[in-house]
A and B are shown apart, each in its own frame.
Chain A
Amino acid sequence: MRGARHARWAAGAAAVALVATGCGGGGGSGGSDSGAVLSASWGDPQNPLEPANTNEVQGGKVLDMLFRGLKRYNPETGAAEDMLAEKIDTTDSQNFTITVRDGWTFSNGEKVTAKSFVDAWNYGASLKNNQKNAYFFGYIEGYDKVHPDSGKQTATTLSGLKVTGDRTFTVKLTQKFSTFPDTLGYVAFAPLPQAFFSDHSGWLSKPVGNGPYTIQSYTKGSQMELRTWADYPGDDKADNGGVTLKVYTDNNTAYTDLLAGNLDLVDDVPAAQLKNAKNDLGDRYLNTPAGIIQTLAFPFYDPQWNKADSDKVRKGLSMAINRKQITETIFQKTRTPATDWTSPVLGKDGGFQDGLCGDACDYNPSEAKKLIQEGGGLPGGQVKISYNADTGSHQQWVDAVCNSINNALGNTKACVGNPIGTFADFRNQITERKMSGPFRAGWQMDYPLIQNFLQPLYYTNASSNDGKWSNKQFDQLVNQANSETDTGKAVQTFQKAEEVVRDNMAAIPLWYQNGSAGYSQRLSNVKLNPFSVPVYNEIKVG
């Protein structure tokens, strides 16, 4: 029985492999194995797969294979490089003239023109389309008309966008924003074919883009088969025949499948398996820095947490957290203790400053105790760290952080975790300003710019400023940085703004998160980009 079963599965596997090579055979250009298809783990995207409506990694993963925008972030350095943009000209950092490169088409044959971009952006910004990334277009003139905060929209297109030629269009912003061109690699700014507008539901069931892959079949909620697009005009053609994305409910199952040879690539190694991953996979285990930082935010709307000396309490709490020990024991070095409020993937030139936080981020129990006492003690005698308990093994580290604080302060009741059932409820309580103590705040960058790590999180009333921290000096520095025409100067000004965050300890930086992945022996040249997404088109099979 055992033997017979074996043979049947082997035959099945061989048949699958044959079919796979048969399908991808036409797509290969270089290398003998470029027709082979790999399988990779996936999660069910939360929102419909529209570029301006996808704000999480799983949907982003697919769109990254399906679309190429004006800019693309270098998979290794994260630098924004021209992709479909021939040039982006500006003299005042407010009016931009964008020229689209010639020779690009969508995989259905339609040409990519200036109109493909302008239509897509207008769609994304328009309130009636319910696009969750609409605010990315918020700097473009006329946004307040197509997407008012309340009431009906009075226009359907952004007045700041004008098609001036087949391949050129102009963008007018409401304020100076020197790094605007570098944000254009974000998926919300992708071009869209006419089919998206004319046959929307048809497009959603099988999206068509202009990237290196096309969708062969898509079974919602379980599997998507992507195949290499033979006529892809870009120079980052896929080195494999395609990718089959399989939806896993539990990343533990995906990891087991990888070990059993049933899956080629897992891009989220479960926390419980991190200990074994090195042994199980050897050098087929990746652990690379990603643009993700975890912090503890504070409810500045609560007067208890917003007293004159509260910054001392926050600094004291920060010094009571033994980041090194937690990252090593719980996260098996897949996190690095944070020493600033950005991410190492930005690089020195991009604004990352190793050690900016200084002593305040070093574990120092006696100083911690002293500072908290000077700041008037913990509000209510106890801190409750709130987190959502449904995903991401947050409970483990929150408990560890609390332990560390309790030990440092010599009080077993100084800190407790406060689990909240679902992410939606957690976000709800944050939005409704119901937090009574510090809470988990994670930030994954949208694009690798220092601006993205500071402005959305700490600017007055910014969309992710969950603690409602507000500081005039910080706001002013950010405005100044955005209007700087020179990128180097802009970065320096942002760094000054970051120092304001540090001096006030607006949030406690915990650690930088790495992306982790494991892959089978069939694969080579597997990398994770700074967004912790595998660079699928560079993976070689065989």
Chain B
Amino acid sequence: MGRYVVRRLLQMIPVFIGATLLIFLMVNVMGDPIAGLCGERQCDPATAAQLKKEFGLDKPVWQQYLTYMGNVFTGDFGTAFNGQEVTELMASAFPVTIRLTIVAILFEIVIGITLGVITGLRRGSPEDTGVLLLTLVVISVPTFVTGLLLQLLLGVKWGWIKPSVSPEATFSELIVPGLVLASVSLAYVTRLTRTSIAENKRSDYVRTAIAKGLPRHRVVTRHLLRNSLIPVVTFIGTDVGALMGGAIVTERIFNIHGVGYQLYQGILRQNTQTVVGFVTVLVLVFLVANLVVDLLYAVLDPRIRYA
């Protein structure tokens, strides 16, 4: 187990370097960011040259990348164009997005798995058909439509919530945005759980458990669900990274100042430091989440062992 984790951690290094290099090159391809800082006029050449020097943009790309990576390992993620340290931006943005992700994941687990179990156990029933139709609708409607619609109905028409989230972004404010963010994945989790449950319901160990005379809820939770959760956990695990990085749309709609907002602004302003910094952290989150998922397999299914 320990050796397996170490091996996986070592594997992360080339992935990490490759991913940051790609992002770095992509942002650089967009061209010189200084030109956008001076409004509808040409930057005066002296100031532009000096700004380039200050941000290290006058050096060749490979050298910029090496300097950047060197700084990252000492914890210095550089400075955004508005003079703020990128670490400062991260400190304000990540807690918000993490809260949003937690809300979204909770929705996926609680609602998604519950609905999946119910429909899986009663295949072909009216509830099953109803939920299937509902998930089909949720999957086919883009997030920004769901988001704007809920915002308009709940926020403006009925006045249940505030249409935008305050800078503090407390958990209670993030319920609706979290639901919107989770909606598509939630539908997938429901369907995955449903299929998995329906398949395992007919398996030998379930029949044995029932024959032993175990109570129904014990059969379902201990035997059936535990074995059916493996694909679902894989999905949710990889979704953590996707939710954190993919919150751009939701964060924009509800004016949440999280990672999506910083990335969006960074891209618009072609701010290499912000974009690469945030994406680097997201890559790390993604890798760690994947590792955790793999380790969870062993917990769920004792037959799986890592050496």
Give the interface of A toward B (CB within 8 A): 2, 5-6, 9, 44-48, 55-56, 127-128, 130-132, 134-135, 147-150, 204, 219-223, 246-250, 253-254, 256-257, 259-260, 262-263, 390-391, 421-431, 441-444, 456, 463-464, 466
B264 at the interface (CB under 8 A from A): yes
Give the nearest-CB partner of A429 in chain B: B31
- Residues of the A chain whose Cβ atoms lie less than 8 Å from the Cβ of B47: 127, 130-132, 134, 147
Would you call B163 and A257 a contact (CB within 8 A)?
yes
Supposing A5-B160, A130-B50, A260-B155 touch, asked if A253 and B254 sit within 8 A by C-beta, the answer is yes
- Once A44-B265, A135-B44, A149-B45 are accepted as A-B contacts, the answer to whether A424 and B164 lie under 8 Å apart by CB is no
Which B23-44 residues have a C-beta within 8 angstroms of A?
Answer: 30-44
Instruction: Count chain B CB atoms within 10 A of each CB in A249, A441, A464 and give the residue with the most.
Output: A249
Q: Roughly how many angstroms separate A491 CA and B3 CA in the complex, as a whole number?
A: 81
Q: CA–CA, A128 to B233, complex, Å?
A: 55
B115-123, B207-215, B237-245, B266-274: which lies at the interface: B266-274
Question: Known interface pairs A131-B47, A148-B46. Does A427 touch B167 (Cβ–Cβ under 8 Å)?
Answer: no
Q: Is A2 in contact with B255, judged by CB distance below 8 angstroms?
A: no
Question: Would you call B54 and A56 a contact (CB within 8 A)?
Answer: no
Which A residues lie within 8 Å of B218 (CB)? Answer: none
How far apart sit A444 and B84, CA to CA, in the bound complex (Å)?
A: 27
Which one of B40, B164, B265 contacts A464 once the chains associate, using CB atoms below 8 Å? Answer: B40
**Number of inter-chain CB pairs below 8 Å:** 164
One digit per residue, 1 when the CB lies within 8 angstroms of any chain A CB and 0 when it does not, for chain B 156-170 equals 100110111001000
Centre residue among A131, A219, A260, A421 by max chain B CB count within 10 A: A260
Task: For B268, list chain A residues within 8 Å (CB).
Answer: 390-391, 422-423
Give the CA-CA distance A391 to B36 in the complex, in Å.
Answer: 12
B residues at A contact (CB < 8 Å): 30-47, 49-51, 54, 81-84, 88-89, 92, 151-152, 155-156, 159-160, 162-164, 167, 251-255, 257, 261-262, 264-265, 267-270
Q: Are B42 and A256 in contact (CB under 8 A)?
A: no
The answer to whether A253 and B163 touch (CB under 8 A), given A132-B38, A221-B257, is yes
Complex Cα–Cα for A220 and B86 (A): 12
Shortest Cβ gap from B237 to chain A (Å): 29
For the complex, what is the distance from the CA of A532 to the CA of B257, rounded to whole Å? 26
Also in contact, A464 and B84, with CB within 8 A (given A421-B30, A422-B268): no
- CB-CB under 8 A from A391, the residues of chain B are 268
CB < 8 Å neighbour of B159 from A6, A150, A219, A463: A6
Chain B residues positioned under 8 Å from A427 (CB to CB): 35-36, 38, 40, 42
Distance A469 CA – B215 CA, assembled complex (angstroms): 87
Is B31's CB under 8 angstroms from A48's CB?
no
B46/A253 in contact, CB under 8 A: no
A424/B46 in contact, CB under 8 A: no
Provide the bound-state CA to CA distance between A279 and B36, in Å: 37
Residue of B nearest to A222 (CB): B167
Min C-beta distance of A442 to chain B, whole Å: 6
A-B CB proximity, top 8 nearest: A424-B36, A427-B35, A222-B167, A464-B41, A48-B83, A428-B35, A463-B41, A256-B163
Chain A residue numbers with a CB within 8 Å of B45 are 149-150
How many angstroms from the CA of A164 to the CA of B51 in the assembled complex? 35
Taking a contact as CB atoms closer than 8 A, the residue among A48, A223, A424, A464 that contacts B42 in the complex is A464
Specify which chain A residues have a CB less than 8 angstroms from the CB of B88 in the assembled complex: 220
Cross-chain pairs A/B with CB under 8 angstroms, 8 sampled? A130-B51, A221-B257, A222-B257, A247-B255, A256-B151, A260-B159, A443-B40, A464-B42
A247 touches B257 (CB 8 A): yes
In Å, the complex CA distance between A195 and B34 comes to 29
Q: Distance (Å) between the CB of A266 and the closest chain B CB? A: 12
Select from chain B the residue with minimum beta-carbon distance to A204.
B83
The answer to whether A425 and B31 touch across the interface, beta carbons within 8 angstroms, is yes
In the complex the two chains form, is B163's CB within 8 Å of A220's CB?
A: no
Expressed in whole angstroms, the minimum distance between the Cβ of B279 and any Cβ of chain A is 17
Nearest residue, chain B, Cβ from A255? B163
Residues of B within 8 A of A47 (CB): 37, 81-83
A257 contacts across to B, CB distance below 8 A: 162-164, 255
B251 engages A249 (CB within 8 Å): yes
CA separation between A347 and B251, bound complex, in Å? 43
Chain A contacts for B269, CB-based, 8 A: 46, 422, 424
How far is A220 from B40 in the complex, measured between Cα atoms in Å? Answer: 25
Q: Is the CB of A55 within 8 A of B39?
A: yes
Q: When A130-B47, A220-B84 are in contact, do A260 and B162 touch as well, CB less than 8 Å?
A: yes
Q: Are B43 and A132 in contact (CB under 8 A)?
A: yes
CB distance from B148 to the nearest CB of A (A): 8
